[in-house]
Amino acid sequence: MKKSLLTLVMALSLLAAFCQDSNQVRQYICALASPAFHGRGYAYNGDSIAAEYLRAQLRQIGVEPFVQEYYHRYGFNVYAMEGTVKAALDGKSLRPWEDFAMAPFSHPADGTFQLLPINPSDILDPDKLLDFCQKNSAVLSKSLVFVDMSLCTDAEDAKKLNSIFRQLAWYNGQLPFRGFLVAVKDIPVWSFASAQSSCDYVMAYIHPRKMKKHSKLTLSYSNVLAYHPTQNVCGMLRGTGEPDSLVLICGHYDHLGQMGESVIFPGAHDNASGASSVLDMAHYYKKNPPYYTTLFLFFSGEEAGLMGSTAFVKDSLFDFSKVKMVLNIDLMCGGDDGIMMVNSQSDNTKDFYQAMVDYNDEAHLVKEVRSRANAANSDHYPFTAKGMPAVFIYTLGGRVGGYHNPDDMCDKCGLESYEGIVTLLLKSLEKVR
């Protein structure tokens, strides 16, 4: 009982230190999710604007650079959809995202296309698909195949079709038609499209309410695949106990950017919240110097396939054997139902997980600390691939905006559970030896 009371008092003391900082975290999130950052993607150089903001914050806090001028530079091929994105059905204008959306890998278009309806299940039948193409051969090369997913009553077929549409992002072959127009009740979540060569077809989604007996779709938009130089932002505070050993606290700062000039993906939850938490923890450690040298890392390219963290690990900027723990924070709004730790049961992380569970059982900082096997779903993964102890923390339940859509806004990012979560993370890191 005495130990539990002592633990609770210590936790409340640390929690009090963060009561004023949750407002600061809100300010960070709202800044990173604001229109001025263009969704922190690669259209309009939103990633570079966000990186400069993060670098300025590290300097203000007093965190020194880990690499020259804080920037670890690298790059990759990625699409950027800038300018106006217009669509019209038989001359009637459609509203971007509310009525239609272009897939992020869709080939640029400026023209009018005939719509050729097809039964969704026929796409999965090679003979029926061939028959469809032969019957429409005279107009096929200038047409979009229209797929109404509401007609697909078989759940397994729907799953296969959706998988096909997603995989088109990496298909560089020729299609006999100009592309697809897919009617779906909910516009699919957006994502980045990185590729070595551009796709040669159009991929568009539309709400079924807009489809009656329309026969032609007019599209006008640009979408450029090009090499994009970008940067990870890297700061450091030297340890007071074992300065040659390292703890890495990281979170990606990139998001999905924009679909043209009018649709912005703010990315408050994913992952302005995680990047802001890393800044907040840097504040704490500046006032309370860490035992181990601690790196504060902000990765770009996560949404394009863990590009930033992979490049960072590949360049071997430090001795991997000196790493005591990598704490990756991704999705930090909400949390009313607790937190999840990904990669919690590996040989080099299970003690960290158990220490966090035990401390939370005594201090009651979050509702629950749950466990999940390792997965390549965030920036911890490239570190685990090199044998380093690395975990990924995300919140469970609570108030958040949308996921990978324009609704992921700052005012929908709940921080009611934030102070308990970050206190638990800090206290758990103290136990790493």
- Do residue 114 and residue 57 come from a single domain? no
40-54, 102-116, 165-179, 183-197: range with lowest mean pLDDT: 183-197
User: Residue 186 — very low, low, confident or very high, per pLDDT cuts 50/70/90?
Assistant: confident
Q: Which residue has the higher pLDDT, 18 or 270?
A: 270
Q: If pLDDT is split at 50, 70 and 90, which confidence band does 20 have?
A: very low
Same domain, yes or no: 262 and 191: no
Q: State whether 168 and 72 are in the same domain.
A: no
| Single residue among 186, 221, 256 that ends a domain in this structure | 221
Instruction: Give the pLDDT band (50/70/90) at residue 134.
Output: very high
CATH number of the domain at 72, please.
3.40.630.10
134 and 210 part of one domain = yes
Residue 195 has pLDDT above 70, yes or no: no
Looking at the predicted structure, is the pLDDT value of residue 350 above 80? yes
Confidence of residue 3 (pLDDT cuts 50, 70, 90): low
Residues 121 and 198 placed together within one structural domain of the fold: yes
Is residue 221 pLDDT above 70, yes or no? yes
The whole-number average pLDDT for the span 369-390 is 97
Residue of 211 and 101 predicted with greater confidence: 101
Per-residue model confidence (pLDDT) at position 48: 98
* Model pLDDT, residue 32: 98
Residues 187 and 290 in one domain: no
Residue 60 in this model has a pLDDT that exceeds 60: yes
Asked if residue 250 and residue 208 are part of one domain, the reply reads no
Which of 221, 252, 280 is the endpoint of a domain? 221
**What's the CATH number where 206 sits?**
3.50.30
User: Per residue, what are the HEC states of the chain?
Assistant: CHHHHHHHHHHHHHHHHHHCHHHHHHHHHHHHCCHHHHHHCCHHHHHHHHHHHHHHHHHHHCCEECCHHHEEEEEEEEEEECCCCEEEECCEECCECCCEEECCCCCCEEEEEEEEEECHHHHHCHHHHHHHHHHCCCCHHHEEEEEEHHHCCCHHHHHHHHHHHHHHHHCCCCCCCCEEEEECCCCCCCCCCCCCCCCCCEEEEECHHHCCCCCEEEEEECCEEEEEEEEEEEEEECCCCEEEEEEEEEEECCCCCEECCCEECCCHHHHHHHHHHHHHHHHHHHHCCCCEEEEEEEECCCCCCCHHHHHHHHCCCCCHHHEEEEEEECCCCCCCCEEEEECCCCCCCHHHHHHHHHHHHHHCCCCCEEEECCCCCCCCHHHHCCCCCEEEEEEECCCCCCCCCCCCCHHHCCCCCHHHHHHHHHHHHHCCC
pTM (2 d.p.): 0.93
Share of the chain above pLDDT 70, in %: 94
pLDDT at 173: 74
Domain that holds residue 189: 86-221
Residues 116, 263 within the same domain: no
Q: 90 with 76, same domain?
A: no
Tell me: do 148 and 286 sit in the same domain: no
Predicted local confidence at residue 432, as pLDDT: 94
> How many structural domains are present in the chain?
2
- Answer with the one of 192, 221, 250 that is the final residue of a domain: 221
Same domain, 319 and 260: yes
Note the pLDDT of residue 191: 80
Question: Are 305 and 158 part of one and the same domain?
Answer: no
For 394-415, the pLDDT digits (tens) are 999 999 988 999 999 999 999 9
pLDDT at 99 over 80: yes
